[in-house]
Structure 1
Amino acid sequence: MTIQDILPATGIKVIAGASSKKRMLHDLGDMAEASFSLDHSMVVDALMEREGLGPTGVGHGVALPHARLPGLTKVCGLFLRLKKAIDFDSVDRQPVDLAFALFAPEDAGVEHLKALALVSRTLRDENICTKLRANEDPATIYTILTEASAAQAA
C-alpha cells in the first residue's frame, strides 16, 4: 500500500482560515463530501466521536484524524495544510498545521491499521514535513507525499 492508493490528487487542500479543531473537522467533512461523495454530517460526527476517545494530534504539528464509515469499500484519505496552526490537543501540546485524515469501511481490519502506519511513518519524517510546509500548491504537496511513500515502499 502506498499513499497514492488512498489519497486522490484532488484530496489536498491548503486552508488559510481554520480557526479551531472543530472548524478543521468540518473542512475535512466538506472535502470528503466532494472527493468521496460521503455525507458531510456523518463524516464530521464520526471524526468528532473519534476525537472524543483521545486526540489524534500525534505531535510535531501533525494530526491523523480518522474514522470508520458506512458505505466505504476501501480506505481513503485527505490531506490538509493549514497556513496558521491550530490547537489540536496534541500529545506534545504543539499546534497542528498538517492533517492527514483517513476514512475506512466499518469492517476494515488490518487495511485501516496499515494505512495509519503508512501515513504516520511518512509524516514522522522531518524533511517531508518541512517540504509540505514550504509549499502551497496541492499538486506539489501530492507529489511530495506520493514520492515519499513510494520511496519507503521500495
Structure 2
Amino acid sequence: MTFDDLTTLSALLPAERAVCGLRVAGKAALLEDLARRAARGLGRETAPIRAALAARESLGSTGIGYGIALPHARLNGLERPYGLLARLRDPLDFDAIDERPVDLVALLLLPVDPRDASVTALACIARRLRDPGVASALRAARDAPSLHAALCGNGFGAGG
C-alpha cells in the first residue's frame, strides 16, 4: 500500500473517523479519548492502545508544530494502518516543538511489521496537515464531513 495520493489518504482516514469540535481537558485526556475511539473501531481493548501512545509520547512529543499533533504508535496484530482525524474545540498544550497549542490531531496506529508503508503514511499525513491551505480549511470546517473533505481534497473550505 502506498500513501502518495488523496484517495489512499481518504482510505486511511475515512469520513466516519473524523471528529470536529472534540472537547478534552489536556494531552492525557486527548490520548485517552483517541485510544478509546480507535479501540472501538478496531474491536480491541483501549488499554494497550493508550499504553502504546503514551510510550511513544515518552520518547518525545508528536506535536509537530503549527498547532498540529500526529500521535502514533505501532500495535501488535494490526494488519494495516488505522487513522483518526480530530479538530479540537479548544487548543491545548501538547509540548509541541514550537510550543504552540494544538488544535489539529491525526492519530495513526501502525502495524509492527517494518516492511509496510507506515513511515510513508505518517509523512503523507504530516505534509498534508502542514499545508497552510489545508490547515486553514480544517480549522474552518463546521462539521466532521467538512473536516474530512478539507483533509482529503474533495471539497475545501468550511461546509465543504
TM exceeds 0.5? yes
The ranges of structure 1 where at least 4 consecutive aligned residues each deviate by more than 2 angstroms after the TM superposition are 14-17
Q: Name the stretch that deviates more: 46-55 or 134-143.
A: 134-143
- Counterpart of 1:137 in structure 2 is 143
- Counterpart of 2:87 in structure 1 is 81
Residues in 1 aligned to 2:81 and 2:22: alpha-carbon distance in whole angstroms: 27
Segments of 5+ residues of structure 1 without an aligned counterpart are: 149-154
Is 1:117 equivalent to 2:126 in the alignment? no
Deviation, 1:66, is 0.3
Q: Deviations over 1:6-59 (max 9, x none)?
A: 112211112442111000001101210222223211111100000000000000
- Percent of aligned pairs sharing the same letter: 37
Q: Name the stretch that deviates more: 136-145 or 54-63.
A: 136-145
Q: 1:1-154 maps to which residues of 2 (within 5 A)?
A: 1=3, 2-147=8-153
Deviation, 1:5, is 2.5
| Change in 2 beyond 3 A, CA 1:85/1:139 | same
The count of aligned residue pairs is 148
| Change in 2 beyond 3 A, CA 1:107/1:83 | same
Deviation, 1:136, is 3.1
Deviation, 1:110, is 4.7
Residues in 2 aligned to 1:25 and 1:15: alpha-carbon distance in whole angstroms: 15
Deviation, 1:143, is 1.2
Q: Decide whether the 8 Å contact of 2:129 with 2:135 is kept in 1.
A: yes
The alignment's TM-score, normalised by the length of structure 1, stands at 0.90
Segments of 5+ residues of structure 2 without an aligned counterpart are: 155-160
| Change in 2 beyond 3 A, CA 1:147/1:16 | closer
Q: Decide whether the 8 Å contact of 2:79 with 2:111 is kept in 1.
A: yes
Q: Decide whether the 8 Å contact of 1:10 with 1:35 is kept in 2.
A: no
